[in-house]
């Protein structure tokens, strides 16, 4: 509930038909218009019903009432939807994540595809020539990165709560397991409660970050080397005592995890115990191993990332003589696989730490002769900036949620100038369909490109997050 909303608790026994679903997985229903609304040609009041699905007939309890709409929760489902599913997680409905667990995974994918197509239609005013087949993968135990966003002492429960926030709330959900985390990590949630409760700085440890890497050696005879590497980053706002340090070391030994500490900003993240180790993920198709640190940005879903990288490289239709640009390259997730197929790849990244990590990963994989990296602010791009990058027939862009508007505007200016710096093909990987649609409008209506294809990548099952991929070709 937003600040300023007045909570209410009005039980409505009159059943209502649910028409659609929003991205927060709330059913959308509409009351019949009253006489005044009908006289003015208006529709009735909208009701957003938590827990309801399209086609269902439900009764509901109003929890927030405004002039134009109300928010509610389901009281009773009188006619369930055929695509309703049984939530697997015990924290469903309390935890603010995975709000779509009650929706069949196929319906989730269809809904996300519809969101992408609607945004392209309404914002970009274009339709893709081809709807790419949706990409899906594991739907449980897929999340290899997570931030347990608060560690909160609960006087009422007499313990520390470690988990994700409750829905639209500053409170932490009381959860002892998480179905989207790997089982080994989920099992640690109650154990981490006990650990933090035993520390002298129990009230000064507000966050634990989780990063899971692939096994050190999946073929080894040593069981320790065949298990996933689990790193836990504890945000300690005060120094640890020697007793605290002993507890952390014992926890690491007992549960075979790698503990890091973050006493201040992100730059202070450092290993505590053991002092050495290796986090990595692998892209077997390209014979790439990607070491990373817990604070580095990596995709949370390793299996889907493998599929995404593979498809993006195929969609670029590379030739051995091609020079490629990889914009927002991060630690080299696309750059290094592209270098296996092209003559040379230039990776450009805005953060110095990620640029350094990308260079180290190129050396680790023996690709220093086929790639180079540049640190540059990709939110401040002009035609001169693009000229400094040099000509490349193929581009890959994987921007953050803000999108790549300045790059697209610079391409539009180059189009007006009839420049030969314009790439022939762009593959755009997006984590926000609205900024993708905005950038598509620029590319297709101002920069001389056509939208050859677009489709979703279900990187985050059971959530409203829409990952997608779009392919742009320069019009002949």
Q: Report the distance separating Cα 421 and Cα 391, nearest Å.
A: 5
Cis peptide before 274 (omega within 30 of 0): yes
Cα separation, 184 vs 212, whole angstroms: 10
- 81 pairs with which residues across the strands? none
Count of positions (residues) in the chain: 476
- Beta bridge mates, 213: 229
Q: Among residues 384, 387, 386, 370, which one has the least CA distance to residue 332?
A: 370
Active site residue 431: yes
Tokens of residue 136, six digits? 């899906």
CA distance 59 to 78: 8
SS (H, E, C) 34-75: CHHHHHCCCCCCEEEEECCCCCCEEEEEEEEECCCEEEEEEE
Question: Which residues does residue 289 pair with via DSSP β-bridges, in sequence order?
Answer: 282
Indicate the helix (H) or strand (E) that contains 76.
Answer: strand 69-79
Q: Where are the alpha helices (DSSP H) in 292-404?
A: 302-316, 335-341, 352-364, 383-389
Q: Measure the CA–CA gap between 312 and 327, rounded to whole angstroms.
A: 13
Query: Which one of 98, 329, 431, 444 is the catalytic residue?
Result: 431
Q: Which residues pair with 270 in a beta bridge?
A: 261
What pairs with residue 79 in β-bridges?
57
Distance of CA 119 to the CA centre of its chain: 19
The residue among 470, 437, 439 whose CA lies nearest residue 456 is 470
Angle, alpha carbons 392-393-399 (nearest 5°)? 75
Helix (H) or strand (E) holding 469: strand 467-474
Helix (H) or strand (E) holding 195: helix 188-197
* DSSP code for 95: B
SS3 6: coil
| Residue pair 46/33 in contact by the 8 Å Cβ criterion | no
Rounded distance between C-alpha atoms, residue 455 and residue 134, angstroms = 6
Name the residues annotated as catalytic: 431
């Amino acid at each position: 509930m937003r600040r300023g909303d007045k909570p209410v608790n009005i039980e409505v026994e009159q059943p209502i038909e649910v028409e659609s679903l929003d991205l927060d997985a709330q059913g959308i229903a509409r009351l019949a218009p009253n006489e005044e609304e009908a006289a003015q040609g208006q529709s009735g009041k909208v009701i957003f019903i938590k827990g309801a699905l399209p086609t269902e007939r439900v009764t509901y309890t109003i929890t927030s009432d405004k002039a134009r709409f109300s928010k509610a929760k389901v009281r009773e489902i009188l006619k369930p939807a055929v695509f309703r599913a049984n939530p697997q997680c015990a924290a469903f409905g309390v935890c603010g994540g995975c709000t779509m667990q009650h929706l069949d995974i196929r319906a989730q994918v269809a809904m996300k595809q519809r969101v992408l197509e609607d945004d392209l239609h309404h914002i970009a005013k274009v339709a893709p020539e081809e709807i790419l087949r949706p990409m899906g993968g594991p739907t449980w135990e897929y999340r290899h990165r997570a931030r347990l966003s608060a560690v909160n002492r609960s006087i009422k429960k007499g313990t520390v709560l470690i988990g994700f926030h409750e829905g639209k709330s500053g409170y932490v959900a009381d959860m002892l397991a998480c179905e989207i985390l790997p089982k080994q990590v989920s099992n640690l949630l109650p154990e981490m409660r006990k650990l933090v409760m035993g520390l002298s700085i129990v009230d000064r440890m507000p966050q634990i970050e989780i990063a899971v890497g692939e096994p050190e050696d999946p073929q080894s005879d040593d069981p320790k080397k065949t298990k996933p590497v689990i790193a836990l980053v504890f945000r300690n706002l005060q120094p640890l005592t020697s007793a605290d340090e002993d507890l952390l070391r014992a926890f690491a030994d007992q549960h075979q995890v790698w503990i890091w500490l973050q006493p201040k900003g992100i730059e202070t993240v450092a290993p505590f115990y053991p002092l050495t180790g290796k986090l990595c993920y692998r892209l077997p198709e390209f014979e790439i191993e990607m070491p990373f640190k817990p604070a580095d940005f990596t995709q949370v879903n390793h299996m889907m990332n493998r599929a995404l990288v593979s498809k993006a490289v195929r969609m670029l239709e590379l030739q051995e003589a091609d020079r490629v640009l990889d914009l927002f390259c991060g630690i080299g997730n696309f750059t290094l696989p592209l270098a296996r197929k092209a003559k040379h790849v230039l990776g450009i990244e805005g953060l110095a730490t990620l640029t350094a990590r990308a260079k180290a990963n190129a050396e680790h994989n023996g690709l220093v002769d086929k790639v180079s990296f540049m640190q540059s602010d990709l939110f401040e791009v002009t035609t001169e900036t693009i000229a400094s990058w040099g000509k490349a027939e193929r581009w890959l862009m994987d921007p953050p949620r803000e999108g790549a508007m300045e790059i697209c505007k610079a391409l539009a200016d180059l189009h007006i100038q009839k420049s030969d710096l314009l790439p022939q093909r762009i593959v755009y990987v997006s984590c926000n369909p609205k900024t993708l649609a905005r950038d598509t409008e620029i590319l297709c209506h101002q920069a001389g490109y056509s939208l050859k294809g677009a489709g979703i990548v279900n990187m985050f099952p059971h959530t409203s997050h829409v990952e997608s991929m779009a392919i742009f070709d320069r019009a002949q």
